[in-house]
């Protein structure tokens, strides 16, 4: 027995000596580390070996943000995790109080409340990874009574309950070693003091590479930032973080969505700003925001403040290339080298500012200046792919806002001085042949705008009187002749495309495209007409307004004010030897009735309705009073449609979603139907999310595509129409026959990486 006890004692001693040796080895490795990243990522597993635990996280203090952060590897990429220093998380509590804690069960809220009533476990990481946090041993890292970080050890491998006293002791020793190492790293970083320190400390760039980069970039005569991005593949975002850390201000990347600060750059010269590398962005609450290449340059700051005649200036940093892009954006466009600012300067010099009066609708003063201003707004809208231009005058002497709608979202493009609000609206009215003396009634018109290169832009114009006696103007940029998209470019799924092609080849019948305003119905109809537009077919269209022109179609603009509505147009078409008729919208019983009759008498009829789904369209038309038997015979198919923003192909980011997100997708798609896709949740399951780059203006999205729901009028569907069946019954049969709902089609496109589920949910109703 004595020998057995002695053997056990020897074994325990040997084990302790091994642990001491391991502790000594890891201590030496920590002190030999070249940067913080090496400690947080590369040496983490070595430290973990000292504990009977599954995981360890080492945090470093970021005093500027009052946070602690750690780094970890995902594949070959280093990612950050950040935690606020407060009592609402376990690591944050340790950093905030400077107290070590040893928790038996992190999900035991009573145990956590005994430590601090605010204390809670952040379960998001557990949900994302499937890992369940149980035991937690955490301690602060101090040096000379200064907090430098936190170490957190998770989940014992053997046994239950809290970590042992020995393990707590090891952790205290490790925090002491880390405290010295972090202090030395911090002291070394302070001694170095360059705007690229972040890149070195995060192991994105080696110090010797930075030294050689200075010399090589000087020889190549290019900015060092551009050289680092090209040769060492440093991301623009990482450069931005490095600048933010060094200059203690915000990093600003170029974006075309930034409104042009006309009032701030009126008296500044473009060449001067490009040479000095600074430009004002905005004025907010009396403070002018400036971006500059070096916010620490005192001489440049004094010069800026003298020019602007104010000390109320906030400085942010940007790359030289981005500053030049902002200056070019503010002062010129590809079409016209004159800028909005130049034009406003001309108007001011001509004394065109005037008080609002009853007859202010007349353009006087510098007419040419107002013309240039409106032309510039239209040209820039087309250059930025805008679909609509919104001119929004305000009352109480506030500026006029000009907004563009791009890819379905509105963004402010520019603000114009209050004094030009009536002149700008009057100029647009003159261009659209509207009455400039009528200001209390809405008016509709059209502009044919010819560019310098001879290209023509068509705009549909609507003026609407708003509160305060002013008028809003909305201009829609219409597609040019020959711009009709082919059916193959509509993003229609394989099944829907096949079925739609089949019904388009029918000699007669009715095809409907449905959806809310702005869902692309007219574009899809023209794509379908383009598919069958041949010399042997006579095609008449009645539209309000004619937004897309297409060679070979005889297109008619309806005029409801004089009694020439859709129904009247269709009656006249039937006397004009048509093969195909397209009517812009079935707004009433008479139009729908004539459409059904025309399709039964040997004509192919296309139209649109404002309904939420394909099955609802059938019930809506029957509720209008359409005869079920005739409608069932006439109907070929109904295509419901929505538009979703597509992910930018340049920067979209793959990620592995957590189980909760996957289950939500399955729930919305329908479990039974989703099983047919043969997609399982595993480590290889990947979705895509927006990131943001220069190509997409940091939004992560560029362009739009359609999601569709197609009901084909089979014999079964026709029988349900004749019986006036409910929406649910029609939908159920259509899905049995192969129809995918709008939501299902959208989810399929998100699984393909074309869009994301968030955009699908924005436009679809469950």
pLDDT of residue 95: 93
In angstroms, the Cα distances linking 3 to 6, 9, 13 are: 5, 10, 15
Six-digit token string for 589: 């019983």
How far is the C-alpha of 714 from the C-alpha of 731, rounded, in Å?
13
Please give the CATH architecture assigned to the domain spanning 487-645+704-743: 3-Layer(aba) Sandwich (3.40)
Q: What is the pLDDT of residue 353?
A: 46
Angle between helices 340-349 and 367-383 (to 10 degrees): 170
Place of tokens 């679809």: 764
Does residue 635 have a pLDDT over 90? yes
Residue 541, C-beta contacts closer than 8 angstroms, at least 6 positions apart: 529, 553, 554, 555, 556, 581, 582, 583, 584
pLDDT at 13: 61
Rg of the chain over CA atoms, in angstroms?
34
Phi, psi torsion values for 690, nearest 5 degrees: -70, 145
* pLDDT per position as a tens digit, 746-763: 999 999 999 998 889 888
Kindly tell me the sign of the dihedral angle through the C-alpha atoms of 565, 567, 570, 575. negative
pLDDT of residue 266: 76
Q: What is the pLDDT of residue 360?
A: 42
Distance CA 318, CA 278 (A): 9
Which residues lie closer than 8 Å to 631 by C-beta, 6 or more apart?
596, 618, 621, 622, 721
> Between the CA of residue 696 and those of 120, 159, 246, 643, 649, what are the distances in Å?
39, 53, 28, 18, 9
**What is the spatial distance between Cα 568 and Cα 558, in angstroms, rounded to a whole number?**
9
Q: How far apart are CA 26 and CA 404, in angstroms?
A: 59
CA proximity to 658, closest of 30, 111, 22, 128: 128
E-strand ranges in 268-394 read: 278-284, 287-292, 313-317, 388-392
User: CA-based diameter of the chain, in Å?
Assistant: 117
The three-state DSSP-derived secondary structure of 378-446 is HHHHHHCCCCEEEEECCCCCCCEEEEEEECCEEEEEEEECHHHHHHHHHHHHHHCCCCCCCCCCCEEEE
Question: For the residues 85-101, what does the mean pLDDT come to?
Answer: 92
CB atoms within 10 A of CB 92: 22
Residue 496 contacts residue 504 (beta carbons within 8 Å)? no
Q: Which residue has the higher pLDDT, 658 or 365?
A: 658
The superfamily CATH assigns to domain 262-331 is Type II secretion system, protein E, N-terminal domain (3.30.300.160)
Q: Which of 592, 690, 577 is nearest to 634 (CA)?
A: 592
C-alpha angle with apex 516: 539 to 471, nearest 5 degrees? 100
Q: Give CA–CA dist 721/618, Å, rounded.
A: 7
pLDDT at position 358 = 40
Q: What is the percent of the chain with per-residue pLDDT over 90, rounded to a whole number?
A: 26
Distance separating alpha carbons of residues 230 and 312, to the nearest angstrom = 37
Instruction: Give the pLDDT of residue 337.
Output: 46
Q: In terms of C-beta density within 10 A (0-12 exposed, 13-18 middle, 19 or more buried), how is residue 370 classed?
A: buried
| End-to-end Cα separation, the chain, in angstroms | 74
Determine the pLDDT at residue 352: 47
Q: What is the tens place of the pLDDT at every residue in 23-54?
A: 777 777 777 777 777 787 777 777 787 787 88
Q: List the structure tokens of 404.
A: 């563009």
DSSP 8-state class, residue 561? G
For residue 549, which of 607, 455, 478, 477 has the smallest C-alpha distance? 478
Cα dihedral sign, 464-466-468-471 = negative
Q: What is the pLDDT of residue 608?
A: 92
Q: Is the pLDDT of residue 513 over 90?
A: yes
Those residues whose C-beta lies under 8 Å from the C-beta of residue 323, and which sit 6 or more positions away, are 277, 278, 279, 291, 292, 293
Give yes or no on whether 23-192 and 340-478 have one common fold. yes
**How far apart are the C-alpha atoms of 403 and 697, rounded to whole Å?**
16
The confidence score (pLDDT) of residue 354 equals 46
Comparing 157-161, 182-186, 355-359, 613-617, which segment has the lowest mean pLDDT? 355-359
Do residues 763 and 644 touch, judged by C-beta distance below 8 A?
yes
Strand 553-557 to 580-583 pairing: unpaired
- Per-residue model confidence as pLDDT tens digits over 165-186: 888 888 888 888 888 888 887 7
Q: Which CATH number fits domain 340-478: 1.10.3720.10, 3.30.450.90, 3.40.50.300, 1.20.140.10?
A: 3.30.450.90
Q: What is the pLDDT of residues 272-330, one digit of tens each?
A: 898 889 999 988 888 999 999 999 888 888 889 888 888 899 999 999 888 988 888 88
Task: Report the alpha-carbon distance of residue 223 to residue 610 in Å, rounded.
Answer: 55
Residue 19: pLDDT band (50, 70, 90) is: low
Query: ∠43-49-51 over CA atoms, to 5°?
Result: 120
Q: Strand 653-655 relative to strand 287-292: parallel, antiparallel, unpaired?
A: unpaired
Q: According to the model, what pLDDT value does residue 7 have?
A: 52
Q: Provide the token pair at 191.
A: 């001694």
Edge to edge, the sheet with strand 443-450 lists 409-416, 400-406, 388-392, 470-478, 456-466, 443-450
Cα 476 to Cα 460: distance, rounded to the nearest angstrom: 5
Percent of the chain's residues with pLDDT above 70: 89
What pLDDT, on a 0 to 100 scale, did the predictor assign at position 334? 43
Hey, where are the domains in the chain?
23-192, 197-247, 262-331, 340-478, 487-645+704-743
Q: Is the pLDDT of residue 382 over 80?
A: yes
Backbone angle region of 6, left / alpha / beta, with phi > 0 → left and psi within -120 to 50 → alpha: alpha
Reduce the secondary structure of 457-522 to three states and give it as a string. EEEEEEEEEECCCEEEEEEEEECCCCCCCCHHHCCCCHHHHHHHHHHHCCCCEEEEEECCCCCCHH
Class of domain 23-192: alpha beta
Question: Where on the phi/psi map is residue 144: left (φ > 0), alpha (ψ -120 to 50), or beta?
Answer: left
If DSSP codes are grouped into helix, strand and coil, which group holds residue 739? coil
Task: Report which of 623, 626, 613 is spatially closest to residue 605, judged by C-alpha positions.
Answer: 626
| pLDDT for residue 335 | 42
| Rounded (5°) CA angle 517-519-520 | 110
Closest C-alpha among 613, 610, 582, 609 to residue 598: 582
Omega before 705 within 30 of 0, i.e. cis: no
Cross-strand partners of 71: 80
Average pLDDT of every residue of the chain: 84
**Rounded Cα–Cα distance for residues 559 and 443 (Å):** 13
541: region left, alpha or beta (phi > 0 left; psi from -120 to 50 alpha): beta
CA–CA distance, 529 with 522 (Å, rounded to integer): 10
Nearest to 71 by CA among 104, 106, 38, 97: 38
Greater pLDDT, 266 or 505: 505
> Residue 355's pLDDT band (boundaries 50, 70, 90)?
very low
Cα gap 373→379, rounded to integer Å = 10
Q: For residue 167, which of 133, 135, 141, 137 has the smallest C-alpha distance?
A: 137
pLDDT at 389 over 90: yes
Beta strands in 519-652 (DSSP E): 539-543, 553-557, 580-583, 604-609, 635-647
> In angstroms, rounded to a whole number, what is the distance separating the alpha carbons of residues 105 and 160?
9
The CB density around residue 239, as the number of other CB atoms within 10 Å, is 22
Kindly report whether the global pTM for this prediction surpasses the value 0.75. no
- The answer to whether 633 and 600 have CB atoms below 8 angstroms apart is yes
């Amino acid at each position: 027995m004595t020998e057995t006890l002695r053997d056990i004692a020897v074994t325990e001693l040997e084990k302790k000596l091994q642990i001491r040796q391991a502790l000594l080895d890891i201590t030496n490795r920590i002190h030999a580390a070249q940067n913080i990243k090496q400690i947080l990522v590369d040496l983490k597993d070595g430290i973990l070996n000292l504990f009977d635990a599954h995981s360890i996280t080492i945090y470093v203090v970021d005093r500027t943000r009052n946070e602690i952060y750690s780094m970890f590897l995902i594949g070959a990429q280093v990612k950050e995790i950040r935690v606020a220093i407060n009592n609402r998380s376990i690591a944050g509590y340790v950093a905030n109080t400077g107290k070590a804690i040893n928790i038996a069960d992190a999900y035991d809220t009573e145990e956590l409340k005994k430590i601090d009533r605010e204390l809670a476990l952040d379960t998001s990481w557990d949900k994302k990874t499937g890992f369940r946090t149980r035991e937690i041993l955490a301690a602060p890292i101090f040096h000379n009574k200064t907090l430098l970080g936190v170490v957190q050890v998770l989940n014992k491998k053997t046994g239950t309950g809290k970590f042992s006293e020995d393990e707590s002791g090891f952790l205290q020793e490790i925090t002491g070693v880390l405290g010295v190492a972090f202090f030395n790293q911090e002291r070394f970083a302070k001694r170095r003091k360059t705007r690229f320190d972040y890149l070195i400390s995060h192991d994105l760039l080696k110090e010797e590479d930075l030294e050689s980069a200075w010399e090589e970039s000087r020889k190549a005569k290019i900015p060092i930032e551009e050289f680092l991005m090209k040769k060492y593949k440093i991301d623009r975002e990482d450069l931005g973080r490095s600048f933010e850390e060094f200059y203690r201000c915000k990093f600003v990347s170029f974006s075309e969505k930034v409104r042009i600060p006309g009032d701030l750059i009126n008296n500044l010269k473009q060449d001067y700003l490009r040479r000095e590398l600074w430009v004002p962005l905005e004025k907010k609450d009396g403070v002018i925001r400036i971006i500059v290449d070096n916010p620490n340059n005192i001489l440049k700051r004094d010069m800026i403040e003298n020019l602007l005649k104010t000390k109320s200036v906030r400085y942010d940093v940007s790359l030289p290339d981005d500053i030049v892009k902002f200056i070019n954006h503010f002062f010129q466009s590809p079409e016209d080298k004159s800028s909005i600012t130049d034009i406003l300067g001309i108007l001011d010099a001509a004394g065109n500012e005037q008080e609002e009066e009853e007859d202010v609708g007349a353009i006087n003063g510098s007419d040419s200046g107002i013309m240039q201003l409106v032309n510039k707004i239209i040209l820039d809208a087309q250059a930025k792919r805008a679909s609509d231009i919104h001119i929004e005058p305000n009352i109480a002497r506030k500026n006029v806002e000009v907004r563009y709608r791009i890819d379905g979202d509105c963004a402010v493009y520019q603000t114009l001085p209050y004094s030009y609000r009536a002149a700008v609206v009057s100029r647009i009215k003159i261009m659209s042949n509207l009455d400039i003396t009528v200001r209390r009634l809405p008016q509709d018109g059209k502009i044919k705008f010819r560019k310098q290169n001879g290209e023509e832009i068509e705009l549909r114009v609507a003026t609407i009187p708003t509160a305060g006696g002013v008028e809003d103007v909305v201009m829609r940029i219409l597609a040019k002749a020959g711009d009709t998209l082919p059916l193959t470019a509509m993003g229609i799924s394989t099944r829907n495309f096949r079925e739609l092609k089949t019904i388009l080849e029918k000699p007669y019948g009715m095809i409907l495209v449905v959806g809310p305003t702005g869902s692309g119905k007219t574009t899809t109809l023209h794509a379908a007409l383009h598919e069958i537009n041949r010399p042997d077919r006579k095609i008449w269209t009645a539209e309000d307004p004619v937004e897309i022109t297409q060679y070979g179609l005889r297109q008619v603009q309806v005029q409801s004010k004089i009694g020439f509505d859709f129904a009247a147009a269709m009656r006249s078409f039937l006397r004009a030897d048509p093969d195909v008729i397209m009517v812009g919208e079935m707004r009433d019983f008479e139009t729908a009735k004539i459409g059904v009759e025309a399709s039964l008498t040997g004509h192919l009829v296309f139209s649109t309705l404002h309904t939420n789904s394909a099955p609802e369209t059938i019930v809506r038309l029957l509720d209008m009073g359409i005869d079920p038997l005739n409608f069932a015979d006439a109907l070929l198919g109904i295509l419901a449609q929505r538009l979703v923003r597509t992910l930018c192909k340049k920067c979209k980011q793959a990620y592995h979603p957590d189980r909760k997100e996957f289950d939500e997708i399955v729930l919305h798609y329908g479990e039974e139907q989703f099983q047919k896709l043969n997609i399982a949740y595993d480590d290889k399951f990947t979705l895509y999310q927006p990131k943001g780059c220069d190509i997409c203006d940091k939004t992560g999205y560029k362009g739009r595509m359609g999601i569709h729901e197609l009901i084909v009028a089979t014999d079964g569907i026709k029988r349900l129409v004749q019986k006036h069946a409910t929406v649910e019954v029609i939908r159920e049969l259509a899905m049995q026959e192969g129809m995918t709902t709008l939501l299902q089609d959208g989810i399929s496109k998100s699984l393909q990486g074309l869009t994301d589920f968030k955009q699908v949910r924005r436009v679809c109703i469950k």
